[in-house]
Amino acid sequence: MTNINTLDPETADLVSAAFAKSWQFVRTDPELGHDNTDAMRIRLSRHLESLAKYGERDLVVREEL
């Protein structure tokens, strides 16, 4: 995976778990699997890290009346 040191420890653990689970799918999928597995691992890692840093969160927005 890429450098996840910029994430808090709990988020870094979640990203690592998401990577491990996602990679099992990606590496066996006939459409995604190809000879350049290192490049695909890096892409997946970067996408997951980006989602963790900048992605949508499950926030509850309360409107005041």
pTM strictly above 0.85: no
Residue 19 has pLDDT above 50, yes or no: yes
> pLDDT digits over 22-55, tens only?
999 888 888 876 778 888 899 999 999 988 888 7
Name the more confident of 26 and 58: 26
Three-class secondary structure of residue 46 per DSSP: helix
Burial 12-25 (b: 16+ CB within 10 A, else e): beebeebbeeebee
